Structure 1
Amino acid sequence: MSRRSAGFVNTWAEAQRQYQRQIEAEQRRQREEQRLARDYQRRAAQGHREYRQAEARRRTAELDARVAVLQGLLAEGCRAAAFRAASLLRAVDVPPSDPGRLAWPVQMPDPRQYQAHGGWTANRRAQAEAEARARFEYDLHAAQAAEAQRQQQLAAFQREHGQRVEAQRADVRRHNAGIDEVTAGVRRGEPDCVVEYFSAALYSSTAWPEGFPRQVAAAFDASARQLVLDWELPGLDVVPDAKSVRYVPSQDEDKETARSVTQRRALYREVLAQSVLLVLHQVFAADEHHVLDSVALNGFVDAPDPATGRQSHLFLATVMAQRSAFTDLQLEQVDASSCLTTALRGQLTPRPDQLASVRPSRRPQDAGDQVVTHGGGVEEPDLYGMDPIAFESLVADLLRAMGMEAVTTQRSNDGGVDVDALDPTPIRGGKIVVQVKRYRNTVPPTAVRDLYGTVQDVGANKGVLVTTSGFGPGSHTFARGKPLELIAGGELVDLLHRHGLRGRLGESGRPVPAQRTAPAGPGTPAGPVPVPDDYNVLGMTWSGTVALDVCALVCRGDRVLSEDHFVFFNNPRSPDGSVRAVPAAAPDKAAIRVAFDALPADADRFVLVAAVDPEVNPDADLSGFTEACIRLLDPASTELGRLEVSDGRSGETALVLGSFRRRPGGDWDFVLGGRGYPGGLEQLVQDYGIEVE
């Protein structure tokens, strides 16, 4: 019987691993910036040929560097610091209390500034003195009231700060107590604690190159003092299939020299052997309490089985290593393959590129009923099925992991706020109000508008709307330029993973738009069509009397998916009904209805174009096409926003108005067009891959 890991150490170790991933991402960003800088300098200083030759040399150097990393994997890994439980202990890092302007007392009025002036008679002087005294008393009472209010606000701030500090201290105490409990369990040889400790040591290791897998399953045989591991190995693609790159001036292109199959197989086999030895090294190095006498290790790749085609664990290496024999090895100097197969009497597949497997000597499930797995991803909670309160708590946990102070609000009288957050970052930080929507359908723009109203009502610096689904163009248009941030489902999952938390969206991990099947009618084939509330109407209006045809293309990149995905006067709807030409209502002169969530999965652009109608205005061009805009409407014809488009130009008869482009999280952003065509609609659609006879 197996169980999933829910122990303290694995959670903290994964957080440590996520922190390492952030460092790796920053390093990738810096490398990209350096590459762009080199690119600019080389283009400025060299001619095209010299630049291309230098780029080819650079790419070759990168390939050589990747190979060098693989060849030195074991030696470099052995130099990494050994895992220790003490490294997971946390100190109480209490942020200083900074009440800002509340720390400064209200300045009281100075009586000397309220002297009576003027008055030639005793009565007039008395009147002037009374007026000055009244002004002073009025200002004094106002200042005293302001000071009393400041003191109340300061006391409330200090109470809240004290509560946050105490909560942080309690969290640190629980954390450290958990570490101490696991460490004590390891000393006693308790299987639960032993497998938690060593699987965490492997998963959080900094010795592995970027991109190497870290999935591990572990069990502990207390009677034999043996740790049994299944560890995921990298695939063949870790070895570059190109050996070098050279520039061919005559063809003005780069040519890659392929690495031979023999060389690639040999290097990959060496990487597998080094990986197995490095896992053994890390386990024994982390065993500061000497609870292990031996380790049984099986290295696998997660790939389709060549015999069945099913995704399987294919074991490419296995070894059972005794501590006494392993600690005598000089790993920095050994030949990894020979060490594994000869010195340790292990097995290593002779044909790893063909996924020829070996038989594991002992599996974790053979060692007992306490098997812990880590890093495989199947324990991700489904955000769609999560309890609403738990979902709000998860979002609050995410904000805290990002360095903010966050608490969930009460279920009633929350003023439309689900999570209160405070970003302590100077200048750009401040109070943040967060709303969470555990939706499957697109969040309506009204929710974004309501959030903006809440931000203004409570005086927050920013409003954040987090959802498991996505946002339509109307929402993004309204949020543009305002202190609002929209986090769609895909972005939420990515943020959770980057900050050591877990979550997925359904079985596939991606948002699934709701659809229904409409009955077939005359001229309308049956098929999936969007839920009525999930579409927008794009109303087109412009000045001038020129007659125009407004059309739409459903594209992948700059190519229409098919001729049937070109919606115009002779084809008023796309095959799935997600795009339709509909009658325009004033003030619009043309209209297109689109259900963004129902667009084909392989479509990433929705392009709007306009062309002069040659039958109505055969001699016209687009010089009279001015003051044009696209109105975003909901199904009730409520205007959600406006998108300005470019004016037409003389001599042109067709124009790309703009395109909606799918973001990684599933949302759509509008990109302004402007390219014109003198050859009309025929010339325009040819650029998108439609053949015109």
Structure 2
Amino acid sequence: MGRRSSGLIGAWAEAQRVAQREREGQLQAVVRRQREAERSQRSYERDVARMQREQRAEYRRHRDADALRRTRELDERVALLEGMLSSGCRQVPLGVESLRQSEEIEPFAPGRLAEPVAMPDQRLYRPRGAAWTAAGRAQEEQEARAAFERDWYAAQAAEARRVEQLAAYRRQYDEWAAARLAEIREHNGGIAAMVEALRAGEPETVVEFFSAVLYASGAWPEGFPREVSAAYDREARRLVLDWELPGYEVVPAAKGIKYLPSTDQEKEVARPVTQRRALYRDVLAQCVLLALRELFVGDRFGALESVALNGFVEGVDPATGVAGRVCVASVAVERSVFEQLNLELVSAVDCMTGALSGRLSAKPDERVAVLPLLSPERVGSEVVSHGDGEEPDLLAMDPIAFEGLVAELFRARGLQAVTTQRSNDGGVDVRALDPDPISGGSIVVQVKRYRNTVPPSAVRDLFGTVQDAGANKGVLVTTSKFGPGSYTFANGKPLTLISGTELVDLLHQHGLRGRLGTGAVERVAVAEAPAEQDEGFNLLGMVWSGSVALDVCALVCAGSRVLGDEWFVFFNNPATPDGSVAMVTAPRGDKAAVRVGFDALPRRADRLVLVAAVDPEVNPEADLAGFVEAGIVLRDDSGAELDRLRVSEGRAGESALVLGSFRRREGGDWDFVLGGKGYRGGLAELVGDFGIEVE
């Protein structure tokens, strides 16, 4: 009994040991799975942390590079101002030789009309040799002879038509060549008469020519003013003129741009006031010396024995409090004295105030005036004015005259250009031909005398006209300007957009005249502009993958601060007070949309910030990990896609994100800067960074 019990106990004990080993194995398996899960979790967290570090590093590199680029732009601008005199001395002033036209006429080129029609060769018209009988062979010979005679007579008729067409084309060419030669000789005759008038010292011709010399000079940086009032003393051979100088704002107030990672903001490093004032004073002196150089070097007729030049700026005279011209520089110099100077090596201020004994305001930035040495009104001849004050207003000009002026501008640039008829012109106002054999070709030009921003639809229409006309290029000229949508559409296409300010500069560079209004431009279209609503607005559509529900918002800012609570556009405030930014229904394919009029934004606003945040009512526990493949779709008023801008994707644990910002640059253009900063505290924390207090 004892042995039997011992056997049962042993079996039971063995079963217990087996069960224990199974439990230990299962426990070990659970522990292994837990450890593997923990390792996987740690690996995932390391990957996420590395990805976040890389994203932050990439974001910082992007912001640092943007700050560095803008700093380089400031440095380049300052370098341009500092070296303006030396670089301007290397420019070739306007000469009479450049105004003369060559009498070489394009030779007669009949093309294929010059090639005689080939006559058929009777040797090729032989019998087929398929007949077995004499009658058959005779029939084949008769058919071959008939075919030859038919082709010979057809060739003779074609040759007769060619000779007739060639003669007609030759007559047309001879008429055109004679008319063109007469036109060139008439033009050159006018140039010769102008030279004689310059040598004789005719006051009006002298003033007109030397005003054109100043306008056409390439020495002036872009954006510098060009306005002159002048008179000529024939007896003393002295030109006296008032010449507009740039304002204090021409010298950048910022010395550089720094990105501060701690606050995710950009900071402008101010240029020292003393440095900015000294540079501005030097720029004014350089402008005066350059103007004198252009006049004396451009005089090859002995018309100028001396020049008296007064440099003025527009502004409020601190002595009177009245807006007007303030003279900040004045100099009178004899040719013999000026020719002794080596302008490329002089110190502009010392040269003007020392060697030339001129007057230069000690505080031109404050518009402290100097007394002019001699004014045009004190010269015996009539004062002739050119520039913003006296030039024809392009906005008020007759439409046909305006098109003619644009055609004249193209001709002044060496192209052949004519205006089209008013009807059946196919949307073309001017047709031009660039004779360059490599880069030239036919050009269609459309002229839009607008006051409001040209809508992108006009640019699309021009592209269609270029394609329909088979032209090499299309040019759209306007008295207004273009928005981001227009420039985006034109990018990469054979299109050139010329805004109103660019048009005025081009006119002045080629000795033509034109200005844009007499004051502030009204925001109404002239009669010629189409009655389109919402010109210049763009639609910014948002796209992303993932099922997370988001609110897309916009902030109108000056720097990193919103202009005010009412300039924060979101679900409870769907539009800014002026309507320049508004939330709208998203077009098909987009998940959200913001309508923006960049040109309508307040002048003090320099950026439009787009943000996205998780909707707390729809997805209270969600984060932005599902916000991927995100982008901004730039559309025009009609909803047509113009471009796509990549934006940062969301990250786990964050519920709000700065997508990017549109930033106003010098000249009025807007650039897009990628965002990427995320917030765990949602939209409330994000807008707090932009100065909005959330209760």
- TM-score tier, shorter chain, comes to 0.5 to 0.7
Matched with 1:639 is 639
In 1, the alpha carbon distance for the partners of 2:91 and 2:587 equals: 69
In 1, the alpha carbon distance for the partners of 2:657 and 2:117 equals: 62
Q: 2:196 aligns with which of 171, 184, 188?
A: 184
1:625-681 Cα shifts (integer Å, max 9, x gaps): 5586637363xxx43226445584563655555655668776767x59574736454
In 2, the alpha carbon distance for the partners of 1:239 and 1:141 equals: 78
Cα 1:482–1:157, aligned 2, differ >3 Å: closer, same or farther?
Answer: farther
Matched with 2:469 is 458
In 1, the alpha carbon distance for the partners of 2:448 and 2:462 equals: 12
In 2, the alpha carbon distance for the partners of 1:444 and 1:281 equals: 40
The Cα shift of 1:408 comes to 0.9
Cα 1:690–1:364, aligned 2, differ >3 Å: closer, same or farther?
Answer: same
Paired residues of 1:540 and 1:631 also in contact (CA < 8 A)? no
Cα 1:87–1:549, aligned 2, differ >3 Å: closer, same or farther?
Answer: closer
- Match status 1:598 vs 2:595: no
Matched with 1:619 is 622
Larger Rg: 2
* 1:156-175 alignment, distance < 5 Å: 169-175=181-187
Matched with 1:573 is 575
In 1, the alpha carbon distance for the partners of 2:217 and 2:208 equals: 14
1:286-332 Cα shifts (integer Å, max 9, x gaps): 4856x78x7573544436534224443437546597x9xx6899667
1:123-152 Cα shifts (integer Å, max 9, x gaps): 999999999999999999999999999999
Cα 1:681–1:90, aligned 2, differ >3 Å: closer, same or farther?
Answer: same
Query: Which residue identity lines up with residue 633 of structure 2 in the other structure?
Result: I
The Cα shift of 1:285 comes to 9.9
The number of aligned residues is 594
Instruction: Report the aligned-residue RMSD.
Output: 6.2
Matched with 2:394 is 383
* 1:173-572 alignment, distance < 5 Å: 173-196=185-208, 217-221=229-233, 224-225=235-236, 227=238, 229-232=240-243, 275=289, 279=292, 286=299, 288=301, 295=306, 297=308, 299-302=310-313, 304-309=316-321, 310-314=323-327, 316-317=329-330, 348=359, 362-374=374-386, 376-472=387-483, 475-476=486-487, 479=490, 481-508=492-519, 513-514=523-524, 532=534, 535-540=537-542, 544-555=546-557, 560-572=562-574
Larger displacement relative to structure 2 (485-494 or 354-363) = 354-363
Query: Which residue identity lines up with residue 441 of structure 2 in the other structure?
Result: G
Paired residues of 1:201 and 1:286 also in contact (CA < 8 A)? no
Cα 1:151–1:570, aligned 2, differ >3 Å: closer, same or farther?
Answer: farther
Cα 1:386–1:331, aligned 2, differ >3 Å: closer, same or farther?
Answer: closer
Query: Which residue identity lines up with residue 319 of structure 2 in the other structure?
Result: A
Query: Which residue identity lines up with residue 576 of structure 1 in the other structure?
Result: D
TM-score (norm 1): 0.63
Larger displacement relative to structure 2 (617-626 or 567-576) = 617-626
Matched with 2:12 is none
Paired residues of 1:539 and 1:630 also in contact (CA < 8 A)? yes
The Cα shift of 1:388 comes to 0.9
Paired residues of 1:513 and 1:597 also in contact (CA < 8 A)? no
1:266-302 Cα shifts (integer Å, max 9, x gaps): x9699699949x959966994856x78x757354443
Query: Which residue identity lines up with residue 678 of structure 2 in the other structure?
Result: Y
In 1, the alpha carbon distance for the partners of 2:545 and 2:139 equals: 68
Paired residues of 2:443 and 2:472 also in contact (CA < 8 A)? yes
Query: Which residue identity lines up with residue 639 of structure 2 in the other structure?
Result: E
Matched with 2:678 is 677
Paired residues of 2:310 and 2:375 also in contact (CA < 8 A)? no
TM-score (norm 2): 0.63
Paired residues of 1:228 and 1:367 also in contact (CA < 8 A)? no
Larger displacement relative to structure 2 (558-567 or 420-429) = 558-567
Matched with 2:36 is none
Cα 1:428–1:625, aligned 2, differ >3 Å: closer, same or farther?
Answer: same
Matched with 1:11 is none
Query: Which residue identity lines up with residue 640 of structure 1 in the other structure?
Result: A
Paired residues of 2:456 and 2:485 also in contact (CA < 8 A)? yes
Paired residues of 1:273 and 1:348 also in contact (CA < 8 A)? no
Paired residues of 1:491 and 1:665 also in contact (CA < 8 A)? no
Query: Which residue identity lines up with residue 500 of structure 2 in the other structure?
Result: G
In 2, the alpha carbon distance for the partners of 1:366 and 1:624 equals: 73
1:458-512 Cα shifts (integer Å, max 9, x gaps): 3222333322234455555655554444433344334434444333332348x65
Cα 1:168–1:672, aligned 2, differ >3 Å: closer, same or farther?
Answer: farther
The Cα shift of 1:548 comes to 1.6
Cα 1:621–1:308, aligned 2, differ >3 Å: closer, same or farther?
Answer: same
Paired residues of 1:535 and 1:596 also in contact (CA < 8 A)? yes
The Cα shift of 1:212 comes to 9.4
Gaps of 5+ in 2: 1-67, 257-267, 526-531
1:76-113 Cα shifts (integer Å, max 9, x gaps): 98x99999866754433545667888877898998999
Query: Which residue identity lines up with residue 615 of structure 1 in the other structure?
Result: E
The Cα shift of 1:615 comes to 2.7
Cα 1:150–1:507, aligned 2, differ >3 Å: closer, same or farther?
Answer: farther
Percent of aligned pairs sharing the same letter: 50
Query: Which residue identity lines up with residue 380 of structure 2 in the other structure?
Result: G
In 2, the alpha carbon distance for the partners of 1:229 and 1:317 equals: 11
Cα 1:439–1:558, aligned 2, differ >3 Å: closer, same or farther?
Answer: same
Paired residues of 2:81 and 2:283 also in contact (CA < 8 A)? no
1:46-102 Cα shifts (integer Å, max 9, x gaps): xxxxxx9xx99xx99x989959x97x99xx98x999998667544335456678888
In 1, the alpha carbon distance for the partners of 2:154 and 2:655 equals: 69
What's the secondary structure of 2:188's corresponding residue? helix
Paired residues of 2:456 and 2:636 also in contact (CA < 8 A)? no
Larger displacement relative to structure 2 (356-365 or 463-472) = 356-365
In 2, the alpha carbon distance for the partners of 1:593 and 1:198 equals: 49
Cα 1:588–1:101, aligned 2, differ >3 Å: closer, same or farther?
Answer: farther
Bigger RCO of structures 1 and 2 (CA < 8 A, at least 6 apart): 1
